[in-house]
Structure 1
Amino acid sequence: MNIKLIDWSTFIGALILLFGVTIPLIFFPEAGKEVVNQANTFMTGNFGVMYMIMGLLIFAFLIYVAFSKNGQIKLGDEGEEPEFNTISWAAMLFAAGIGSSILYWSVIEWAYYYEGPPFGVEGSSIEAIQWSTAYGIFHWGPIAWAIYTLPALPIAYFYYVRKKPVLKVSEAVRPVLGKTVDGPIGTIIDVLFIFGLLGGAGTTLGLGTPMIAEGISSLTGMEVTLGMQAAIMLLCTTIFAFSAYSGLRRGIKVLSDINLWLAIFILGYVFFVGPTRFISETTFNSIGIILDNFFKMATWVEPFGNLSGFEETLFPESWTVFYWAWWLVYAPFVGLFVARISRGRTIRQMILGTMIYGTIGCILFFGIMGNFGLYMQLTGQFDAVGFLNEYGAPATIIEIINQLPLAKFIVLIFTILAIIFLATTFDSSSYILAAVVQKEVEGEPLRWNRLFWAFALSIMPLTLMFLGGLGALQTASIVGGFPLIFIMFLLAWSFMKASNTDIRASDDYEAPTIHIKRWKRKDKKKRRSALEVLEDRKDEDD
């Protein structure tokens, strides 16, 4: 156990912040929930437009970077092949970025928009139906994956190009903040990231566990209880702890590959056994709606809703702003993970691959799973909306799956997929949390460190689940993630500043793929960037 590699200020700071939020929720649950909910209402109501602006700016920035000189930079040495093949790479980034939440929302999200559509549309109308098929894909589409991708740029650049053996968000903003990241400011940045991830993980557990419990109940006839949900959470914890302990290749990659093939099976089954024509046409129509209204959907903040004579729906705050805030909380983690698995690819490949593969995966889930549920509703075969209002989302999701032929078998596969999705998200999370609290990461984070964060990710949500405070922790993480808007700006600035400087100093400036030249210094025996070598030569001349 090499404890000298641990950055104890970040390690302990993250735990203090987590306990500082959760302990009051344990002892004063009602008052704690009220304070957190008021803070959330204040943030989304008054600063919602900032989240919307952030989403559009990040999307535009990444498109620019992908097709600029900066996008040609190779993450690694010249001639180096990608560490993972494209299928495994896409499976890992999708499983880490989405998790079991995609199974939850892809099946049921349309029902909420069907009853409470945007833009003042009447609920349950034809227009509401069309928006209900499109808005889920929009919320889980290119802007979401752009928010995820931005932190990967500077992190991957410093790790694979400048050879800095540190996987920290604070290290990625060093070109802008300089040596201040070595002090309290850097610790605060990393601690906020860890707290956001722990709360975001609680959101994923809070959605996934009841859904898995309902699947087991449907298969066995057992009643859903807190004890069953606790057992499910412990099972998932054991799986992802073992995976994280095994490492990136033997654990996380294997689980992600299994996850991918199970997802392909269940999507293919629902598509071909279900209403194939309806699913195809509705999904295609939804893509057209999004393309036609992309900027309208990305900028609608209901500005007149709080004025006299106008009905306020709170749709943007409840859905789009919440989603953008949720993606923002998870972004440093997913960015760190995408950076770690992207060795051997160019910046352009990493950006476009993450945004395209991620979006396609979400289109398939929402287009197939969601439109199957909508078809059941519109044909009268199953009143999903009525069932949702009476029994809640987890039970409705499983009941929609039960409408398929060979229902028991498909519910079993669906439940197993949900468990593995949950595990793949958390093993990736614990892996990255372990990396963030280390001063250096040569190869992989320490095993005991990975194992510690695997259990830390589930112990607090498990405790709060019994006490009914899990939702408050989720909301608190969204509120606490607000400063990440400004950190995202610093990350973009940092990447452009560092990469532009190195490109100008590189002989490969005009090459199709830019390899930043590196040299070895005899005195330190370490690889250095072109910029550092040129600075040394200038000092010698002086």
Structure 2
Amino acid sequence: MNKNLIDWPTFTGALIILLAVSIPLAVFPESGKEIVSMANDFVTGNFGVLYLIFGLATFAFLIYVSFSKNGQIKLGDKVSEREFGTFSWAAMLFAAGIGSSILYWAMIEWAHYYQGPPFGIEGESKEAIQWAPAYGIFHWGPMAWAIYTLPSLPIAYFYYVRKKPVLKISEAVRPVLGKLVDTPLGNIIDVLFMFGLMGGAGTTLALGTPMIAQGVNDITGLPPNLATKTVIMLLCTAIFAVSSYSGLRRGIKVLSDVNLWLAIFILAFIFVLGPTVFISETTFTSFGLILNNFFKMATWLEPFANVGGFTETGFPEAWTVFYWAWWLVYAPFVGLFVARISRGRTIQEMILGTIIYGTLGSVLFFGIMGNYGLYLQLTGTFDVVGYMNETSPQAAIIAILNHLPMAVIMVPLFTILAIIFLATTFDSSSYILAAVVQKEVQTEPLRWNRLFWAFTLCLMPLVLMYVGDLETLQTASIVAGFPVLFIMGLLTWSFMKASNEDLRASKDYEPSTIYINRREIVQRARKRQEQEAALKRSEDKES
């Protein structure tokens, strides 16, 4: 066990802040929940416009970079081959960035919009029906994946181009902050990221575990109580601990591939044996509705609420602002992971691949699963909304699946998929947490380090689940993630500064893919400095 590789201030700092938030929430759940809720309302209510501006700016910036000379830079040496094939690469980034949360929201999010639609539209009206399937695709679409992609640019650049064997957010902002990164400020940046990730992981557990428990109840008759949820959480922990311990190639890659193939099978089954025409037409119509109203949806707030006869719906803060804040909390983690698995690709391939494959996966889930539930609602086959309001969203999801042909097979497969999805997110998370607390990561983080964070990710949410405050931990992480807005700005500045400096120092380049030889740049810079010094000495001698 090589303890010298561990960055102990970051390691202990992350644990301390997690305990400092989690223990008071466990001991004083009601007071803690109220305080965190007030802080969340303050952040989303007063700074919602910043989140929406950030989302649009990030999307525009990445499109610009991908088609600029910076986008042609290759991540690695000239002869570096892609570490992972496109299928496995797409599977890993999608599983890491989405997790079992997409199974939950893809199935049921439309029902929330149907009852409480945007733009002051009347609930359960014909107009509400049009927006219900579209808004989920928008929230999980290109803007979400753009926010995820942004941190991967500087991290991948420094890791593969400048050969810095460090996977840290703080290291990626070194061109801007300089030696300040080596002070406690660098540790604070990394600790804030780690806390946000652990809180975001708690959210995934909060949504995924009850849904899996409901599936287990349908299959076995076991009640979806705390005991069942505890066993499920421990089972998922065991799976992702083994996967993380095995590493990227033997663990995370294999689990992600299995996850994607099973998801494709379930989606294809629902699409082919469900209302195929309705699903196709509704998804395509939703796509057109989003394109037509993209900027309206991306900028809509409620500045006229409670004045001039306008009624406040709370929709932007409850959904769009919240989602952008949630993606922001997860973004450094997904960015770190995408950067780690992208060796051999150009920056353009990494940007467009992440946004396109991520969006395509989300569209398939929301378009097929969500619109199948909407079809049941509109045809009167099953009152999804009424059942959800009477029971729970998780129970409604399993009830929707029970209306499929061969439900006795599909419900178990869906439950297995949810378990694997949960595990793939967590093994990626533990892998990155382990990488962040190491001073160097030449190949893989230390195994004991990966295992430690795998169990840490489970234990705190498990404790909080017993006091009913997993949602409060999620909200606390969103509030704590507010400073990440500014860190993301530093990451953007850092990437452009470093890559432009290297491009200006490189030889003239003709190929479409730019290969930066960092060693040659340093050697030429030293030679130029020596020539200038010699010239100055010559001039001084003559004078």
In the alignment, is the contact (CA less than 8 A) between 1:508 and 1:515 conserved in 2? no
Letter aligned with residue 157 of structure 2: Y
Q: Distance in 1 between matches of 2:296 and 2:359?
A: 19
Matched with 1:304 is: 304
In the alignment, is the contact (CA less than 8 A) between 1:147 and 1:331 conserved in 2? yes
In the TM superposition, 1:150-299 aligns within 5 A as 150-299=150-299
Letter aligned with residue 454 of structure 1: A
2:453 is equivalent to residue 463 of structure 1 = no
Matched with 1:443 is: 443
Query: What CA RMSD, in Å, does the superposition of the two structures yield over aligned residues?
Result: 0.9
2:523 is equivalent to residue 533 of structure 1 = yes
Deviation of 1:222 after TM superposition, in Å, equals: 1.6
Deviation of 1:79 after TM superposition, in Å, equals: 2.7
2:102 is equivalent to residue 112 of structure 1 = no
Deviation of 1:286 after TM superposition, in Å, equals: 0.3
Deviation of 1:538 after TM superposition, in Å, equals: 4.2
Matched with 1:123 is: 123
Q: Distance in 1 between matches of 2:49 and 2:528?
A: 47
Matched with 2:514 is: 514
Deviation of 1:536 after TM superposition, in Å, equals: 2.8
In the alignment, is the contact (CA less than 8 A) between 1:71 and 1:348 conserved in 2? yes
SS of corresponding position for 2:507: coil
In the alignment, is the contact (CA less than 8 A) between 1:219 and 1:412 conserved in 2? yes
Bigger shift: 299-308 or 103-112?
299-308
Q: Distance in 1 between matches of 2:330 and 2:307?
A: 34
1:346-378 superposed Cα distances (whole Å, 9 cap, x missing partner):
000000000000000000000000000000000
1:207-226 superposed Cα distances (whole Å, 9 cap, x missing partner):
00000000000011121110
Q: Distance in 2 between matches of 1:26 and 1:297?
A: 38
Q: Distance in 2 between matches of 1:459 and 1:449?
A: 16
Letter aligned with residue 530 of structure 2: E
Matched with 1:525 is: none
Bigger shift: 305-314 or 409-418?
305-314
SS of corresponding position for 1:310: coil
Q: Distance in 1 between matches of 2:506 and 2:4?
A: 36
Matched with 1:95 is: 95
SS of corresponding position for 2:167: coil
Q: Distance in 2 between matches of 1:306 and 1:167?
A: 47
Runs (4+) off by over 6 Å: none
Q: Distance in 1 between matches of 2:334 and 2:262?
A: 22
Deviation of 1:464 after TM superposition, in Å, equals: 0.1
Deviation of 1:470 after TM superposition, in Å, equals: 1.0
Matched with 2:369 is: 369
1:51-74 superposed Cα distances (whole Å, 9 cap, x missing partner):
000000000000000000000000
Deviation of 1:408 after TM superposition, in Å, equals: 1.5
Letter aligned with residue 44 of structure 1: T
TM-score scaled by length of structure 2:
0.97
Letter aligned with residue 229 of structure 1: K
Q: Distance in 1 between matches of 2:35 and 2:308?
A: 28
SS of corresponding position for 1:247: helix
Q: Distance in 1 between matches of 2:305 and 2:474?
A: 26
Matched with 2:473 is: 473
Deviation of 1:431 after TM superposition, in Å, equals: 0.2
Structure 1 residues 183 and 110: alpha-carbon distance in aligned structure 2, compared to 1, 3 A threshold:
same
Matched with 2:541 is: none
Identical amino acids, percent of aligned pairs: 73
Matched with 2:313 is: 313
2:67 is equivalent to residue 46 of structure 1 = no
Deviation of 1:43 after TM superposition, in Å, equals: 0.4
Deviation of 1:305 after TM superposition, in Å, equals: 1.4
Q: Distance in 2 between matches of 1:154 and 1:533?
A: 23
In the alignment, is the contact (CA less than 8 A) between 2:222 and 2:228 conserved in 1? no
Q: Distance in 1 between matches of 2:91 and 2:52?
A: 28
Q: Distance in 2 between matches of 1:141 and 1:134?
A: 10
1:422-451 superposed Cα distances (whole Å, 9 cap, x missing partner):
000000000000000000001000000000
Q: Distance in 1 between matches of 2:170 and 2:528?
A: 28
2:420 is equivalent to residue 420 of structure 1 = yes
Deviation of 1:510 after TM superposition, in Å, equals: 3.4
Deviation of 1:539 after TM superposition, in Å, equals: 4.2
In the alignment, is the contact (CA less than 8 A) between 1:83 and 1:342 conserved in 2? yes
**Aligned length in residues:** 532
Matched with 1:522 is: none
TM-score scaled by length of structure 1:
0.97
2:356 is equivalent to residue 356 of structure 1 = yes
Q: Distance in 2 between matches of 1:539 and 1:15?
A: 46
Deviation of 1:508 after TM superposition, in Å, equals: 4.8
Q: Distance in 1 between matches of 2:379 and 2:243?
A: 43
Q: Distance in 2 between matches of 1:290 and 1:71?
A: 27
1:467-505 superposed Cα distances (whole Å, 9 cap, x missing partner):
111111100000000000011111010000000010111
In the alignment, is the contact (CA less than 8 A) between 1:213 and 1:229 conserved in 2? yes
2:9 is equivalent to residue 13 of structure 1 = no
1:39-92 superposed Cα distances (whole Å, 9 cap, x missing partner):
000000000010000000000000000000000000011132210000000000
1:164-220 superposed Cα distances (whole Å, 9 cap, x missing partner):
000000000000000101111111100000000000000000000000000000011
Structure 1 residues not aligned, in runs of 5+: 520-528
In the TM superposition, 1:380-395 aligns within 5 A as 380-395=380-395
In the alignment, is the contact (CA less than 8 A) between 1:508 and 1:514 conserved in 2? no
In the alignment, is the contact (CA less than 8 A) between 2:434 and 2:445 conserved in 1? yes
Q: Distance in 1 between matches of 2:182 and 2:120?
A: 50
1:276-305 superposed Cα distances (whole Å, 9 cap, x missing partner):
000000000000000000000000011111
In the alignment, is the contact (CA less than 8 A) between 1:328 and 1:484 conserved in 2? yes
Structure 2 residues not aligned, in runs of 5+: 534-543
Q: Distance in 2 between matches of 1:156 and 1:537?
A: 28
Q: Distance in 2 between matches of 1:257 and 1:445?
A: 22
Structure 1 residues 354 and 508: alpha-carbon distance in aligned structure 2, compared to 1, 3 A threshold:
farther
